[in-house]
Amino acid sequence: MLKKLFFPLVAIFMLASCATPPTTIEVSPTINLPQQDPSLMGVTVSINGADQRADQALAKVTRDNQLVTLTPSRDLRFLLQEVLEKQMSARGYMIGPSSPVALQIVVNQLYADVSQGNVRYNIATKADISIIATAQNGNKMTKNYRSSYNVEGAFQATNKNIANAVNSVLTDTIADMAQDTSVHDFIKQNAR
C-alpha cells in the first residue's frame, strides 16, 4: 500500500522540480500625469507607437547553464502609446485621427543587462524613449527621454527582480515625460 502512494508522489515532485519559470516579465510602470492646461480648447492630437529595438528581449539570463530570453508581458508600443494618450488627455487634449499635430512614441531602447555570480547579481537597466511631433504645417520636433537604473542583490536575479528594475526605469522615464512641456509647447505653437 505504501509503495502505491510513494511512487506517484515521487513522480509528482520530480515533475514539479522540472517546471521552468515563465519567460515573460510583467511590465506595469507607474503612470505619472501632468497638470491640465485650461487654455486648450478642443485641440486634437493623433498618437501611435513604434518599437525600434533590434531585439525584442527585455533581458537574457543564464539559468541552469542555459541562456533564457525574457520578453515583456505586453507589447511595448501599445503600452507607451496608452501612457502618452493618458498624459495628453490629462493635459486637456482630445485624441483622434484627424489632427493638426501627430505624435509618435518610439521605444529606442529598453533592456535589463543582468550579470550574476555565485553570490550576487547586478541589473543595469536603460530606457530610451522618443516622442516625434509632426505638424501639418511641416514643422517637426523630436524629444528624447532617457533613464537608467542599477540594482544589486544576493544570489540569482529572479524574474520579479528584473521586472522591478524594468518598471522602475520606465516609471522614471514616464515621470520625465509628464514634467516636460516641450512637446506640449510645440503642439500649442503648431496646432493653429
Per-residue pLDDT tens digits for 116-152: 888 899 999 999 999 999 999 999 999 999 999 999 9
Task: Find the helix or strand (DSSP H, E) in which 118 lies.
Answer: none
C-alpha pair distances (Å), 59 with each of 43, 45, 91, 156, 157: 39, 34, 34, 14, 11
Residues of the chain with pLDDT under 50: 16-17
Write down the pLDDT at residue 41. 78
pTM: 0.85
Of 57, 177, 180, the C-alpha closest to 109 is 57
DSSP 1: -
Write down the pLDDT at residue 63. 84
DSSP codes, 3-47: HHHHHHHHHHHHHHHHPPPPSEE--------PPP-TT--S-EEEE
| Residues 122, 113: Cα–Cα separation, whole Å | 8
Write down the pLDDT at residue 21. 63
